[in-house]
Amino acid sequence: MTGQPPSPSKPPKIRIRGLYKSFGSKHVLSGVDLDVAEGTSFVIIGGSGSGKSVLLRCILGLITPDAGTIEIDGKDVLTASWREREAIIGEIGMLFQNGALFDSLTVWENVAFGLLAPEARRHSAAHPRLTRAQAKVRAGEILNQVGLDASVGDLSPSELSGGMQKRVGLARAIADKPAILFFDEPTTGLDPIMGAVIDGLIVDCVKQMGSTAIAITHDMASAQRIGDEAAMLYKGKLVWQGPASSLMHSGNPLVDQFTHGRREGPITMELRR
Amino acid sequence: MNAVADFIAAIGRAALALIRSAGAIALFALEGLSHAVRPPFYWRVFGTALLDTGFLSLPVVALTALFSGGVIALQSYTGFAQYHAQSAIASIVVLSVTRELGPVLAGLMVAGRVGAAMAAEIGTMRVTDQIDALTTLRTSPMKYLVTPRLLAGIIALPLLVVVADILGVAGGFTVATAKLAFSPTAYITATMNAVKTSDVTVGLVKAAVFGFLIALMGCYHGYTSRGGAEGVGSATTSAVVSASILVLAFDYLLTDLFFAQ
pLDDT tens digits, one per residue of B35-58: 999 888 999 999 999 999 999 999
Which of A57, A77, A102, A115 has the most B C-beta neighbours within 10 Å, making it the best mutation to test the interface with B? A102
Strands in A180-184's sheet, in edge-to-edge order, are A92-95, A180-184, A212-217, A41-45, A229-234, A237-243
Q: What is the pLDDT of residues B97-124, one digit of tens each?
A: 999 999 999 999 999 999 999 999 999 9
Mean pLDDT of chain A: 86
What DSSP character marks residue B115?
I
Asked if A79 has any chain B CB less than 8 Å from its own CB, the reply is no
Determine the pLDDT at residue A3.
Answer: 43
Tell me phi and psi for residue A125, to 5 degrees.
-60, -35
Q: What is the pLDDT of residues A138-193, one digit of tens each?
A: 999 999 988 899 999 999 999 999 889 999 999 999 998 889 999 998 888 888 88
Range of the domain at B217: 42-259
Domains of chain A with CATH codes: 1-91+178-273 (3.40.50.300), 105-176 (no CATH)
Question: Mean of the pLDDT values across residues B245-258?
Answer: 95
- Position B13 in a domain: no
Determine the distance in angstroms separating the CA of B214 from the nearest CA of chain A, rounded to an integer.
Answer: 21
H or E element at residue B121 = helix B116-127
In this complex, do B137 and A92 lie within 8 Å of one another by their Cβ atoms?
no
- Position B22 in a domain: no
CB-closest option in B40, B132, B136 to A118: B40
Given a contact cutoff of 8 angstroms between Cβ atoms, the answer to whether A15 and A42 are in contact is no
Provide, as residue numbers in chain A, all residues whose Cβ is less than 8 Å from the Cβ of B123.
none
Q: Is B88 exposed, middle or buried (0-12, 13-18, 19+ CB in 10 A)?
A: middle
What angle do the packed helices B102-110 and B228-259 form, to 10 degrees?
A: 170
Strands in A75-76's sheet, in edge-to-edge order, are A26-36, A14-23, A67-72, A75-76
CB-closest option in B48, B129, B137 to A120: B137
d(CA B31, CA B26): 9
Closest CA to B88 of B175, B196, B186, B197: B186
Q: In Å, how far from its chain's centre is CA A110? A: 18
Name the CA dihedral angle for B60, B230, A187, A140, rounded to a multiple of 10 degrees: 10
What is the domain count for chain B?
1
Question: Mean of the pLDDT values across residues B222-243?
Answer: 94
- Position B6 in a domain: no
CB-closest option in B121, B129, B137 to A117: B137
Given a contact cutoff of 8 angstroms between Cβ atoms, the answer to whether A189 and A222 are in contact is no
Determine the pLDDT at residue A89.
Answer: 84
Determine the pLDDT at residue A219.
Answer: 86
Determine the pLDDT at residue A1.
Answer: 47
User: Is 0.90 exceeded by the ipTM?
Assistant: no
Binned at pLDDT 50, 70 and 90, residue B200 comes out as very high
Provide, as residue numbers in chain A, all residues whose Cβ is less than 8 Å from the Cβ of B42.
118
In this complex, do B130 and A94 lie within 8 Å of one another by their Cβ atoms?
no
Q: What is the pLDDT of residues A242-270, one digit of tens each?
A: 999 888 888 888 898 988 888 888 886 55
- Position B88 in a domain: yes
In this complex, do A103 and B130 lie within 8 Å of one another by their Cβ atoms?
yes
Exposure string for B227-248, b = 16+ CB within 10 A, e = fewer: eeeebbebbbebbbebbbebbe
Binned at pLDDT 50, 70 and 90, residue A85 comes out as confident
Provide, as residue numbers in chain B, all residues whose Cβ is less than 8 Å from the Cβ of A117.
137-139
Determine the pLDDT at residue A273.
Answer: 47
- Residues of chain B whose beta carbon is less than 8 angstroms from a beta carbon of chain A are 39-40, 42, 48, 121, 124-125, 128-130, 132-133, 135-140, 143
- Position B178 in a domain: yes
* A122, closest residue in chain B (CA to CA): B138
How, if at all, do strands A229-234 and A41-45 pair?
parallel
d(CA B240, CA B237): 5
Asked if A120 has any chain B CB less than 8 Å from its own CB, the reply is yes
In this complex, do B139 and A90 lie within 8 Å of one another by their Cβ atoms?
no
Given a contact cutoff of 8 angstroms between Cβ atoms, the answer to whether B73 and B172 are in contact is yes
CB-closest option in A97, A103, A113 to B137: A113
Asked if A96 has any chain B CB less than 8 Å from its own CB, the reply is yes
Lowest mean pLDDT among A51-55, A79-83, B206-210: A79-83
Other residues' Cβ atoms within 10 Å of the Cβ of residue B139: 22
d(CA B49, CA B55): 10
How, if at all, do strands A14-23 and A26-36 pair?
antiparallel
What DSSP character marks residue A144?
H
3-class DSSP state of A1: coil
Partner B, chain A 148-177, Cβ-Cβ below 8 Å: 172
d(CA A182, CA A43): 10
Q: What is the pLDDT of residues B53-92, one digit of tens each?
A: 999 999 999 999 999 999 999 999 988 888 878 788 999 9
Determine the pLDDT at residue A268.
Answer: 65
d(CA B227, CA A170): 26
- Residue A119 pLDDT exceeds 70: no
Other residues' Cβ atoms within 10 Å of the Cβ of residue B196: 12
Question: Mean of the pLDDT values across residues A89-96?
Answer: 89
Question: Mean of the pLDDT values across residues B165-186?
Answer: 94
Counting one residue from chain A and one from chain B, the pairs whose CB atoms sit within 8 A come to 59
Q: What is the pLDDT of residues A1-26, one digit of tens each?
A: 444 444 556 789 999 999 999 998 89
Residues 6+ apart with CB under 8 A from A9: none
> What is A150-196 written as a DSSP string?
GGGGGS-GGGS-HHHHHHHHHHHHHTT--SEEEEESTTTTS-HHHHH
Question: Mean of the pLDDT values across residues B124-131?
Answer: 94
Determine the pLDDT at residue A126.
Answer: 57
